[in-house]
Amino acid sequence: MSKPFFTVYCLIIYAFLLTPIAVVVIASFNAGAFLTFPPQGLSFRWYVVFFNNEVFMRAIRTSLWIAAVTMVISGIIGTTAAIFYVQYSGRLKEAVRIAMLAPLLLPEVLTAIALLFFVYSIGIGTQTMFGMIIGHVLITLPFVFINVSASMESYDPSWSMAAQSLGAGRFTRFRRIMLPLIKPGVIGGCLFAFIISFDIFTISFMLKNVGTSTLPIQLFDYLRTNFTPEAAAVSTCSIVLTLIVVVISEKMLGLRLHRF
Amino acid sequence: MTEVSIEKLTKDYGQGPAVNGISIRIAEGEFISLLGPSGCGKTTTLKMIAGFEDATEGAIRFDGRDVVHVPVEKRDIGMVFQNYALFPHMTVEKNLAFGLEMRKISKAEIRERITKVLDMVQLAGYAERYPRQLSGGQQQRVALARALVIEPKILLLDEPLANLDAKLREEMRVFIRDLQRRVGITTVYVTHDQAEAMTMSDRVVVMFGGRIAQIGTPSDIYERPSNLEVAEFVGQVNIIRGKVGSGTISTPFGNLPAAGAYADGTEIMLALRPEAVELLPVNSGTSGVPAKVRSSYYSGSLVDYRLDLADGATVNVQTFPRTRFADGDEVLIHAPVDRFWPLGPIRGTEA
Amino acid sequence: MNVAAKKRFGPLLLIAPAAILIGVFLVLPYLNIVVMSFRMPGQGTPYGPGFTLVNYGKFFSDIFYIQQVANTLWIGFVTTLACLILGYPVAWQLARGNSAFRAMGYGLVLSPLLVGIVIRSYGWTILLGNNGLINRTLMGWGIIDGPLPLMYNALGIVIALVHVFLPFMILPIMSAIQGIDPSLEAAARSLGASKATAFRRITLPLSLPGIQAGSILVFVLSLSAYVTPSLIGGLRVKTMAVTVVDALIDTFQWPFGSALALMLSVTGAIVVVVFGRLTVMKWKA
Contact A167 B88 (CB under 8 A): no
Neighbours of chain B (3+ CB pairs under 8 A): A, C
Q: Same domain, yes or no, for B91 and B154?
A: yes
CA proximity to B63, closest of B80, B73, B76, B47? B76
Domain span including residue B287: 278-334
Residues in chain A: 260
Q: Which residues of B touch C7 (CB under 8 A)?
A: 54
Q: Which domains does chain C have, with CATH numbers?
A: 63-239 (1.10.3720.10)
Rounded-to-integer distance, Cα C34 and Cα C78, Å? 29
Hey, is the C-beta of C3 within 8 angstroms of any chain B C-beta?
Answer: yes
Q: Same domain, yes or no, for B113 and B220?
A: yes
Provide the CB-side half-sphere exposure for A85 (13 A, CA).
27
Q: Same domain, yes or no, for B125 and B22?
A: yes
Residue of B nearest to C8 (CA): B54
Rounded-to-integer distance, Cα B160 and Cα B34, Å? 13
Q: How far is A181 from chain B (nearest CA, A)?
A: 7
Query: Chain B to chain C, count of Cβ pairs less than 8 Å apart?
Result: 5
- What's the count of helices (H) and strands (E) in chain C, helices before strands? 15, 2
Rounded-to-integer distance, Cα A171 and Cα A193, Å? 25
Q: Same domain, yes or no, for B228 and B319?
A: no
Q: How confident is residue C1, by pLDDT bands cut at 50, 70 and 90?
A: very low
CA proximity to C258, closest of A133, A112, A129? A112
What does the pLDDT average to over C101-110? 83
The whole-number pLDDT of residue C285 equals 52
Q: Which residues of C touch B71 (CB under 8 A)?
A: 3
Residue of C nearest to A20 (CA): C123
Q: How confident is residue B348, by pLDDT bands cut at 50, 70 and 90?
A: low
What does the pLDDT average to over C261-280? 88
Of the given ranges (A18-22, A50-54, A166-170, B171-175), which has the lowest mean pLDDT?
Answer: A50-54
Q: How confident is residue A260, by pLDDT bands cut at 50, 70 and 90?
A: very low
Q: With beta carbons less than 8 A apart as the criterion, state whether B243 and B330 touch.
A: no
Contact B50 A165 (CB under 8 A): yes
Rounded-to-integer distance, Cα A179 and Cα A163, Å? 13
What CATH number is associated with residue B45?
3.40.50.300
Rounded-to-integer distance, Cα C65 and Cα C263, Å? 10
C5 pLDDT exceeds 80?
no
Q: Same domain, yes or no, for B98 and B204?
A: yes
Rounded-to-integer distance, Cα A108 and Cα B229, Å? 64
The whole-number pLDDT of residue C3 equals 55
Q: Same domain, yes or no, for B269 and B131?
A: no
Give the pairing type, strands B31-35 and B57-62.
unpaired
Mutate which of B43, B52, B72 to test chain A, going by most A C-beta atoms within 10 A? B72
Q: Same domain, yes or no, for B226 and B326?
A: no
- The CA-atom distances, in angstroms, between C61 and each of B218, C66, C109, C247, C280 are 90, 9, 44, 17, 36
Mutate which of C1, C2, C3, C6 to test chain B, going by most B C-beta atoms within 10 A? C3
Q: How many CB atoms lie within 10 A of CB A247?
A: 10
Residue of C nearest to B71 (CA): C3
Provide the CB-side half-sphere exposure for B73 (13 A, CA).
18
Q: What is the pLDDT of residues A94-138, one digit of tens each?
A: 999 999 999 988 888 999 999 998 998 888 877 888 999 999 999
- E strands, B27-95, where? 31-35, 57-62, 65-66, 77-80
What does the pLDDT average to over C41-54? 81
What does the pLDDT average to over B154-179? 91
| Touching C: A residues 214-243, CB under 8 Å | 216, 219-220, 223-224, 231-232, 235, 238-239, 242
Q: Which CATH class is domain A55-259?
A: mainly alpha
Sequence letter at residue A179? L
Contact A220 C105 (CB under 8 A): no
Radius of gyration of chain C (CA): 24
Contact A260 B131 (CB under 8 A): yes
Contact A37 C223 (CB under 8 A): no
Q: Which residues contact C77 (CB under 8 A, 6 or more apart)?
A: C219
Of the given ranges (A100-104, A254-258, B55-59, B185-189), which has the lowest mean pLDDT?
Answer: A254-258
B345: three-class secondary structure by DSSP: strand
The whole-number pLDDT of residue A228 equals 80
Question: How far is C-alpha A66 from the geometric centre of its chain's CA atoms?
Answer: 11
Neighbours of chain A (3+ CB pairs under 8 A): B, C
User: Which residues are registered as beta bridge partners of B7?
Assistant: B59
Chain B residues within 8 Å of chain A (Cβ atoms): 50, 52, 71-74, 76-79, 81-83, 85-89, 98-99, 102-103, 130-132, 146-147, 150, 156
Q: What is the ipTM of this complex?
A: 0.86
Q: Which residue of C25, C126, C220 is in closest CB contact with A115? A: C25
Q: How far is A190 from chain B (nearest CA, A)?
A: 21
Describe the crossing of helices C240-249 and C254-278 by its angle, rounded to 10 degrees.
Answer: 160
Q: With beta carbons less than 8 A apart as the criterion, state whether C256 and C58 touch.
A: yes
Question: Domain locations in chain A?
Answer: 1-43, 55-259
DSSP code, position A31: -
The rounded mean pLDDT for chain B is 90
The whole-number pLDDT of residue C105 equals 85
Rounded-to-integer distance, Cα A206 and Cα C168, Å? 25
- The CA-atom distances, in angstroms, between C101 and each of B29, C18, C169, C173, C207 are 63, 39, 19, 17, 21
B22: three-class secondary structure by DSSP: strand
The whole-number pLDDT of residue B94 equals 94
Q: Same domain, yes or no, for B198 and B313?
A: no
Of residues C173 and B320, more confidently modeled: C173
Q: How confident is residue B40, by pLDDT bands cut at 50, 70 and 90?
A: very high
| Touching C: A residues 88-127, CB under 8 Å | 88-89, 96, 99-100, 102-103, 106-111, 113-118, 120-121
Q: How confident is residue C168, by pLDDT bands cut at 50, 70 and 90?
A: very high
Q: What is the pLDDT of residues B205-248, one digit of tens each?
A: 999 999 999 999 999 999 999 999 999 999 899 988 888 887 78
Q: How far apart are the first and last CA of chain C?
A: 46
What CATH number is associated with residue B321?
2.40.50.140
Domains of chain B: total? 3
A257 pLDDT exceeds 50?
no
Provide the CB-side half-sphere exposure for C141 (13 A, CA).
6
Contact A114 C32 (CB under 8 A): yes
